[in-house]
Amino acid sequence: MHKRQVKEKVYWMGAVDWDRRLFDSLIPLPDGTTYNAYLIEGSEKTALLDTVDPPMVDVLMAHLENTSRIDFIISHHAEQDHSGSIGTVVERFPEAKVVVTPRAKTMLMDLLPIPQDKFITVADGESLSLGDKTLTFIHTPWVHWPETMVSYLAEDKILFSCDFFGSHIASSDLYVFDQGRVYEAAKRYFAEIMMPFRSVIEKNLEKLKPYDIQMIAPSHGQIYQEPAWIVEAYQDWVSNPPHNLVTFPFVSMHGSTRKMVDHLVHSLARQGVRVELFNLAVTDMGKLAISLVDAGTIVLGVPTVLAGPHPLAAYCAFLANALRPKAQHLSIVGSYGWGGKTVEILAGMIPNLKVEVLEPVLCKGVPTDQDLAALDRLADSIAQKHREKAFHK
């Protein structure tokens, strides 16, 4: 893929990673990803905005083959998929200064062998003139690390947002083509790396309101030519109350927990509560993370193994605790053989979740009629709480 013009003297300089299927050795990328860098050629100065993941640095350097000078490398975010090739760019363009937030300077000095005098730090709201083009830097912590910022190019009304509003989709499209597909990918991305920082992200969205943003150019995925919908989606994810939805991850070994799960799903549906069910033995954890963005209640279906929770359920609890979804209730259902401390162990694994714990339903072996009746009571309780709190949709 060659460099591509976005606006007059503004170019996409990215790399498309069609094959990548995992990020941070954790996050599934079913559709690959892109690492977007951008070049702005002002009448007096030239700026490169971010770089690419180091394994794809040759793609970026090929884009830069006919570039004679770079005055500034704007580094919005210290994570290596955007900053990791700065060293190579600096070697080729030794005149370039690296423009960062003060926090990013210390982080980049820890991560990359870049000398201290190569950095210029910028304050929140500070502008940098490239001649006939002007970049304004807006500090936006926690999208996705504490040092992150975005840039606004006033003359072209473009927001360069780095991870903020990004989506992991490898594509030959420069611009968003299929909004529905990008919505899901962007929600997956938000869920996996930004959901824990909702309150800060809400403030960041507020900070963007004074700017007339007609295009958002993220560092993953495609460029938004109509950015209003993705900003509204973020507003929903961070600010709105949860939905009338139970996110229900489960694992079953011999079918007893599965019987309980199926009964509870049926009972909840009868009460008008939506359920998204995830069998942890086969599920894409990214899909589960997407569901957690909206969940009003989480129910974990878990059999007891060796006196504790099945390890897949423990992994799920650990992940949910890290992602800190806005769910307000949680319960546990499952079957055991002779005893154990499944509920106590799981309860100790979720200190970050601000949830009311609803009476768990555990049964010995195959669920009896009494156990199924207890599940019906749990469904009643969930439905009533969702109604009382007027969770939407």
For tokens 């009494």, the residue is 370
Cβ proximity to ligand FEO, 81 vs 294, nearer residue: 81
Q: How far is CA 137 from the centre of its chain?
A: 22
Asked whether position 220 contacts ligand FEO by CB under 6 A, the answer is yes
Do residues 304 and 335 touch, judged by C-beta distance below 8 A? yes
Find the helix packing angle between 228-239 and 179-193, rounded to 10°.
40
Nearest distance from C-beta of residue 13 to ligand FEO, angstroms: 16
Distance CA 4, CA 12 (A): 5
Largest Cα span, the chain: 78
Cβ proximity to ligand FEO, 167 vs 244, nearer residue: 167
Nearest distance from C-beta of residue 16 to ligand FEO, angstroms: 14
264 Cβ neighbours under 8 A, 6+ residues apart: 248, 299, 301, 333, 375, 378, 379
Nearest distance from C-beta of residue 4 to ligand FEO, angstroms: 20
283 Cβ neighbours under 8 A, 6+ residues apart: 249
Cβ proximity to ligand FEO, 9 vs 82, nearer residue: 82
Nearest distance from C-beta of residue 220 to ligand FEO, angstroms: 6
Closest chain position to ligand FEO (CB): 79
Cβ proximity to ligand FEO, 31 vs 79, nearer residue: 79
Within 352-371, which residues bind ligand FEO (CB under 6 A)? Answer: none
How many chain residues bind ligand FEO (CB under 6 A)?
8
Q: Enter the DSSP assignment of 40.
A: E
200 Cβ neighbours under 8 A, 6+ residues apart: 141, 142
Within 90-129, which residues bind ligand FEO (CB under 6 A)? Answer: none
Do residues 245 and 273 touch, judged by C-beta distance below 8 A? yes
Nearest distance from C-beta of residue 387 to ligand FEO, angstroms: 39
Contact pattern for ligand FEO over residues 64 through 93, marking x by CB under 6 A? -------------x-x-xx-----------
Distance CA 107, CA 104 (A): 5
Nearest distance from C-beta of residue 60 to ligand FEO, angstroms: 15
**193 has which bridge partners?**
none
Distance CA 208, CA 228 (A): 12
Cβ proximity to ligand FEO, 14 vs 360, nearer residue: 14
Cβ proximity to ligand FEO, 107 vs 353, nearer residue: 107
The conformational region for residue 9 under phi > 0 = left, psi -120 to 50 = alpha, else beta, is: left
Amino acid of residue 13:
M
Cβ proximity to ligand FEO, 41 vs 79, nearer residue: 79
Nearest distance from C-beta of residue 79 to ligand FEO, angstroms: 4
Cβ proximity to ligand FEO, 161 vs 335, nearer residue: 161
Asked whether position 163 contacts ligand FEO by CB under 6 A, the answer is yes
Element containing residue 326 per DSSP (H, E): none
Nearest distance from C-beta of residue 182 to ligand FEO, angstroms: 16
Nearest distance from C-beta of residue 33 to ligand FEO, angstroms: 8
Q: Enter the DSSP assignment of 358.
A: P
Asked whether position 20 contacts ligand FEO by CB under 6 A, the answer is no
Amino acid of residue 204:
N
Cβ proximity to ligand FEO, 104 vs 379, nearer residue: 104
Within 128-157, which residues bind ligand FEO (CB under 6 A)? Answer: 144
Residues engaged in binding ligand FEO (CB under 6 A): 77, 79, 81-82, 144, 163, 219-220
